[in-house]
Every structure is written in structure tokens, then in C-alpha cells.
Amino acid sequence: MYEGIVQDLIDELGRLPGVGPKSAQRIAFHLLSADPVDVRRLAQVLVEVKERVRFCSVCGNVAEEETCRICRDPRRDPSVLCVVEESKDVVAIERTREFRGRYHVLGGAISPIEGIGPDELRIRELMTRLADGAVTEVILATDPNLEGEATATYLTRLLKPMGLRVTRLASGLPVGGDLEYADEVTLGRAFEGRRAVDD
Amino acid sequence: MHVVRLSLHDFRSYAEAEVALEPGVTSFVGRNGQGKTNLVEAVDYIARLSSHRVSSDAPLVRHGADQAVVRAAVVRDGREALLEIEINPGRSNRARINRAPLPRAREMLGLVRTVLFSPEDLTLVKGDPSDRRRFLDDLLVLRAPRYAGVRADYDRVLRQRNALLKNARDRGGRRGPDEHFDSTLEVWNQQLATLGAELLTARLVLVDDLGPLVGRAYEAVAQTKNWASRDDANLEYRASFELPETRDRVVVRDALLAELERRKADEVQRGVSLVGPHRDELYLGLGPLPVKGYASHGESWSFALALRLASYDLLRSEGDDPILILDDVFAELDTERRERLAELVAGAEQVLVTAAVAADVPAALRGRRVDVVDGKVAARAD
């Protein structure tokens, strides 16, 4: 145990995801020996991020204004909507530069163990968004695990009757990988989702 | 297959141990608490990535250490491979084959196959249905490692669904059921039925294949002049709902779905999932009577041995000879059963025996003797 405030700092850092007690201690001592200007800047950013960043009123992505950059961008295709669990999924998909539609961030996946049901997710907002008929295709890009699949199934049942085209991201073999190293579940999915080769 | 070298690092009572092994029979002899079982437990762990003695990994790590390492040089189809597993309680384990790391430790399942006999086997006969379900599922995973994933996913879906049902029950009294409850439950029903049907049909096929082998093994073990034990040993898979006479996964899934729908009110009231492979039972019978409650202690033991012997026969018929481990079983058996078990397993490619007293081990299984005293392992040159 360290004296007072040093221990407080270690405890606070240790609460962050992915930071264990040893890392927390290392970061704390790094900060202690760092230039006060750098530390002040970090503190400033931490305070500002909490004050300035909010969630886009349309899609739920992180934003600095009322709506996010993607929702404001007139060049985005308004007829395709990609539904994801978290803001970081938006960033991942944006990196591909393949998708030109807009997003809807649910804020998680259905998981009764954690007390997350449809009401805890931004599903009502999604339905409101779809009401005007501008969107014709919804891409379900929830995680390919049990909770993500459950959420996708739930949404499919909700959206299909509205006459929308509902698609799910394919899951299967990683690009650049070796078939022989694929695990049996992935390989099984890849078989299920196989497609005809065009001439 | 057989293990030629086993080395342990901070595993159970061993800080460091190195044991050379050979095909054929090896018996580890030493007084209780010297570390015999720890050696064979390590071999079994390499095969199943879990222990027959404890349900969590923490006790496998030597007191005061934070990880244990088990290495086994294994000969399969005439080729030697070095398998390593690093046991990290609370974090994920890491596995390597010939020094190359595997993406997930689970992928090592099925490379080594073991059949282990232990004093705890009596619970297969006398214990709860869950003991018998675990027996089936463990064997299923050795047969087709893919089922380790199906089993884990099923357990997770079950926990999710139970949480949902429990929530609905708890709030049912006060605010009335959640407006989304029905549609959310349907989603979990779908998942439970799909994974459940996969597990269930695999178990059904396993019981189909295992049944005749158990009958034969029981006859071989229990063969006495006593008229009462002339009855056939039989197995029957009893599902928690009326199962169509089929092994077709889709038909089973639809039947399971329909049953979930039918029992819904009941499930909501009790706040728990009442239908599915987690509620099924493997019935064990001798002639027309169930073993549980009717069989004598000796007959129960014979049945437990028959289940293990049949597992061995099944695995052997589908691939490499599994490694047989007989952990402290001879002390539990009478002389006749000891002798017969010894005769039945003596021909296996590799048999590892542990015993507190060398005289308990039948002559047919004496083999090479290794003394285990106070955590020191020494082959006896005789």
C-alpha cells in the first residue's frame, strides 16, 4: 500500500477495463514522473470528454453535437441502415470504407443475465427511425456470439413484417487465413453460408 | 496412443517432476498422499482439459504458484508430438503443440484420449442424473471435440434463458410481465432448441452405440455363477419430454420448440427452464429393474466398470487406442472383479495404474513398477 493519494490513483486506474493492479501501479508512477504539463492535458481531456461528448440523438453513436458526423453527412445513403452493438463497431466498419449508409447503435446486446432486455437497448428509437419508410435495407451487424445472434433474431422478427430487406453480416473464414487452422464452428458457419461462384 | 514422457511444473504437489513412460502397463505405487494420483490426473488433464477430481482449475496449481504447466510427449500413429498446457486459474489456459501455440486451448481436446477409472465412478450408478449426463457429454467430447463448444454454448443459453424466466417471475407479481417478454423468450427458445437438439441427438446416437458395448462389458465383468447377475445390462436415454423416434436434428429441434411453448406457463411460474437436455436422464437397467435402488454394491460396481470399459471399446473402435488410467480402483473391488478387470484391460496399448498397496494390483497388471514417495518418482529396476 502506498500513502494516501498515490494509492487512490492506483485504485482509480485499476478500475479501468484491461488494467490490472500491476499495470495500474506502472501507469501511476509514470504519471508521477511525467511533465506536469502533460498530466494537466490528460486531466483536461478526461474532464472535457465527459462534458462535451454525448450520444447522437439519431443513431446513438458518440458525437460532439446534437447529431454525429455520419448522420449529418448528406452524401451518406439514407436507404441503408447498419445496426451495431457499440460505437466502436461503427469505427471498425468505417475503416473498411465499404459501407456508405448510416448506422444505428443499440448500446449492447440482449442479455438477461446482465439485465439487458429490448427496453435497455435503443430499439424503440430504431423503430421510430424506420417509420417514415426511407430505409429499405437493414443490415444486422451484431457480434457473432450467442447474445449478438439472439439480438439479431429478435430484430429480424420485428423488422421482417415491416416489408424491409433484412440482412445479416456473413460469418466464416478470415481473409488471408489457412483453412486448416480454422476452428470447427467457424468452418461450419462458412459451409452453411457458402455461395455459388459466378462465371 | 501412449505417453512416453510426462513433465510437471507446479502441478498439484509437484514443484517439478519428470517421468519416463513406456507402452504397456505401468503401476505407480506409494502410500496415500504421496502424489500418485496427481501424475495420472495430469495425463487425463491433457486429454480432457479438466480434472476428474475437481471442477475448477485452481486446486491443480501448487500452493503459492500462479500457474501450472503439464507437458506430455505423446506417440500417436507412430509419431511423437509434444503437448503442453499452461494452467492459469481465473485466466485462459494456453496450449502448445510441438512448441507452436494454439489459438485456443480448447483445440487440444481430442488429440489425446483417455479413459479413466476411479473410485468416484460409483456415482455414475448411484449419483444424480447430472453425473450420468456429464459422463455422456465427456465421452461425446472425446468422440468429437466439436461438442465441447456445443455444450458450453448450450450452458450459456440456458443461463440466459433462466435469468429471463426468473426476472419474469419476480416482476410478475408487482408490475405484470414485461411487454417484450414473449418475443424475447421466443428468441432464447430458438437458441435453446437449436443447440439442445444438437446435443440431444448426439447423446442419442452415443447411447445407441454404447448400449450393446455396455451389455457385453457387464457380462465380462460380472460373470459369476450367481443366478441373480444373469440379467442383461441395458441403457436407455430418457428425455425430459416426449421425443420422436428419430435421430434427425431438425425434427428434434421442432419437438423441443413445441414443448417449450407448451410448458411456458409452468416455466414462468417456476422461473427456470424445465425442458431440454439439461433435464434428461440416462437410465441404467439390469434386466427389467433399474440399477439404482435395486442392484447390490457389487453389481453397481460392475455396472460402473462396464460403462468405462464400453467407453474404451467405443473410442478404440473409432480411432487410436485411448490411454487407460486405473486410479486407485483395485482397493474398491473384490478379488474376482479385480482379476476380471485386469484381464480385460491388460492388452491395451498403455495402462497407467495407481495403488497404495502393490498387492492390490492383480498379477496381470503388475507391469513396470514406479514408486512414488513424498513427491519423488523412481522407477524400480526389477
Interface of B with A in 106-125 (CB under 8 A): 107
B88 touches chain A (CB under 8 A): no
Asked if B212 and B85 sit in the same domain, the reply is no
Instruction: List the one residue out of B240, B265, B275, B279 whose CA is nearest residue B168.
Output: B265
Asked if B189 and B204 sit in the same domain, the reply is yes
Which residues of chain A lie closer than 8 angstroms to B171, CB-CB?
none
Give A135-171 as a DSSP string. Answer: --EEEE---SSHHHHHHHHHHHHHHGGGT-EEEE---
φ/ψ region of B176 (left if φ > 0, alpha if ψ in -120 to 50, else beta) reads left
pLDDT digits (tens, 9 = 90+) for B194-222: 999 999 999 999 999 999 999 999 999 88
Which of B183, B187, B192 is the mutation pick for testing A, counting most A CBs within 10 A? B187
User: pLDDT value at position B177?
Assistant: 60
Asked if A118 and A184 sit in the same domain, the reply is yes
Please give the Cα distance from B140 to B236 (Å, whole number).
16
Confidence band, pLDDT 50/70/90 cuts, at residue B154: very high
Last residue of a domain, one of B319, B352, B374: B319
State the cell numbers at A83: 445496426
**A135 close to A83: Cβ distance less than 8 angstroms:** no
Q: Is residue A78 part of a domain?
A: yes
Which residues of chain A lie closer than 8 angstroms to B159, CB-CB?
113
DSSP H helical ranges for B223-296: 249-262, 264-270
Please give the Cα distance from A55 to A87 (Å, whole number).
10
The three-class DSSP label of residue B289 is: strand
Asked if A85 and A146 sit in the same domain, the reply is yes
Asked if A10 and A85 sit in the same domain, the reply is no
Asked if A190 and A103 sit in the same domain, the reply is yes
Give A97-132 as a DSSP string. Answer: T---SEEEE-SS--BGGGTB-GGGTTHHHHHHHHTT
The answer to whether the annotation marks B64 as part of a ligand binding site is: no
Asked if B206 and B152 sit in the same domain, the reply is yes
State the cell numbers at B371: 514408486
Q: CA B79, B84, B88 angle in degrees (round to 5)?
A: 165
pLDDT at B188 over 70: yes
Tell me, what CATH number does A37's domain have?
Answer: 1.10.8.420
> What's the structural domain count of chain A?
2
Q: Is residue A88 part of a domain?
A: yes
Tell me the β-bridge partners of A138: A81, A166
Asked if B103 and B140 sit in the same domain, the reply is no
Cβ neighbours of A91 (radius 10 Å): 12
The A-side interface with B (CB below 8 A) comprises 110-113, 115, 117-119, 146-147, 149-150, 153-154, 157-158, 181, 183-185, 188
Asked if A151 and A115 sit in the same domain, the reply is yes
**B285 close to B125: Cβ distance less than 8 angstroms:** no
Please give the Cα distance from A152 to A109 (Å, whole number).
9
Please give the Cα distance from B246 to B269 (Å, whole number).
31
Asked if B261 and B342 sit in the same domain, the reply is no
Confidence band, pLDDT 50/70/90 cuts, at residue B146: confident
- Any residues with CB less than 8 A from the CB of B167 and at least 6 apart, and which? A112, A115, A117, B178
The answer to whether the annotation marks B32 as part of a ligand binding site is: yes
Asked if B302 and B333 sit in the same domain, the reply is no
pLDDT at B225 over 60: no
Q: Is residue A67 part of a domain?
A: no
Confidence band, pLDDT 50/70/90 cuts, at residue A122: very high
User: pLDDT value at position B332?
Assistant: 86
Q: Is residue A65 part of a domain?
A: no
Asked if A48 and A95 sit in the same domain, the reply is no
Asked if B104 and B234 sit in the same domain, the reply is no
pLDDT digits (tens, 9 = 90+) for A41-73: 999 999 998 888 889 999 999 998 899 999 999
User: pLDDT value at position B62?
Assistant: 94
Asked if B33 and B63 sit in the same domain, the reply is yes
pLDDT digits (tens, 9 = 90+) for A16-40: 988 888 889 999 999 999 999 999 9
Burial of A50 (C-beta count, 10 Å sphere; 0-12/13-18/19+) = exposed
B171 touches chain A (CB under 8 A): no
> What's the structural domain count of chain B?
2
- Any residues with CB less than 8 A from the CB of B105 and at least 6 apart, and which? B49, B85, B92, B93, B94, B95
Last residue of a domain, one of B295, B319, B343: B319
Asked if A13 and A108 sit in the same domain, the reply is no
Asked if B192 and B310 sit in the same domain, the reply is yes
Which of B180, B185, B186, B192 is the mutation pick for testing A, counting most A CBs within 10 A? B180
Indicate the DSSP class of residue B328.
S
The most confident of the ranges B174-178, B253-257, B318-322 is B253-257
Confidence band, pLDDT 50/70/90 cuts, at residue A176: confident
Domain residue limits at A22: 4-52
B175 touches chain A (CB under 8 A): no
Domain residue limits at B173: 119-319
Tell me, what CATH number does A78's domain have?
Answer: 3.40.1360.10
Which residues of chain B lie closer than 8 angstroms to A181, CB-CB?
103
Q: Tell me the pairing of strands B350-355 and B323-327.
A: parallel
Strands of A137-140's sheet in order across: A102-105, A80-84, A137-140, A165-168
The three-class DSSP label of residue A75 is: coil
Tell me, what CATH number does B210's domain have?
Answer: 1.20.1050.90
Give the count of Cβ contacts less than 8 A between chain A and B: 55
Asked if B243 and B184 sit in the same domain, the reply is yes
**B69 close to B80: Cβ distance less than 8 angstroms:** no
Distances (CA, A) of B4 to B22, B72, B165, B219, B323: 6, 7, 51, 33, 12
User: pLDDT value at position B165?
Assistant: 93
CA end-to-end span of chain B: 25
Confidence band, pLDDT 50/70/90 cuts, at residue B226: low
Please give the Cα distance from A154 to A168 (Å, whole number).
12
pLDDT digits (tens, 9 = 90+) for B248-270: 999 999 999 999 999 999 999 99
Please give the Cα distance from B286 to B299 (Å, whole number).
9
The three-class DSSP label of residue A178 is: coil
The answer to whether the annotation marks B37 as part of a ligand binding site is: yes
Confidence band, pLDDT 50/70/90 cuts, at residue B172: low
Please give the Cα distance from A102 to A91 (Å, whole number).
12
Please give the Cα distance from A144 to B327 (Å, whole number).
42
Least confident of B71-75, B333-337, B376-380: B376-380
Tell me, what CATH number does B84's domain have?
Answer: 3.40.50.300
CB within 8 Å: B180 and A149: no
Confidence band, pLDDT 50/70/90 cuts, at residue A83: very high
Asked if A88 and A41 sit in the same domain, the reply is no
The fraction of chain B above a pLDDT of 90, given in percent, is 65
Q: Tell me the pairing of strands B368-373 and B376-379.
A: antiparallel
Asked if A95 and A182 sit in the same domain, the reply is yes
User: pLDDT value at position B382?
Assistant: 53
Asked if B32 and B107 sit in the same domain, the reply is yes
CB within 8 Å: B156 and A146: yes
Which residues of chain B lie closer than 8 angstroms to A117, CB-CB?
164, 167, 178, 180, 184
Please give the Cα distance from A162 to B255 (Å, whole number).
29
For chain B, what is the mean pLDDT? 90
Q: What average pLDDT does the segment B133-147 reach?
A: 93
Tell me the β-bridge partners of A104: A83
CB within 8 Å: B180 and A157: no
Please give the Cα distance from A110 to A147 (Å, whole number).
6
Give B1-36 as a DSSP string. Answer: -EEEEEEEEEETTEEEEEEE--SEEEEEE--TTSSH
Which residues of chain A lie closer than 8 angstroms to B103, CB-CB?
181, 183
Distances (CA, A) of B68 to B28, B51, B65, B247: 22, 14, 7, 42
Asked if A26 and A115 sit in the same domain, the reply is no
Asked if A9 and A97 sit in the same domain, the reply is no
Please give the Cα distance from A56 to A58 (Å, whole number).
5
Last residue of a domain, one of B319, B340, B367: B319
The answer to whether the annotation marks B285 as part of a ligand binding site is: no
DSSP H helical ranges for chain B: 36-48, 122-126, 129-143, 146-172, 181-222, 249-262, 264-270, 297-317, 335-345
The residue with cell 448522420 is A71
CA A164 from chain center: how many Å? Answer: 23
Query: What is the interface pTM, i.e. ipTM, of the complex?
Result: 0.75
- Any residues with CB less than 8 A from the CB of B326 and at least 6 apart, and which? B117, B341, B345, B351, B352, B353, B354, B365
User: pLDDT value at position B381?
Assistant: 58
Asked if A15 and A98 sit in the same domain, the reply is no
Asked if B137 and B22 sit in the same domain, the reply is no
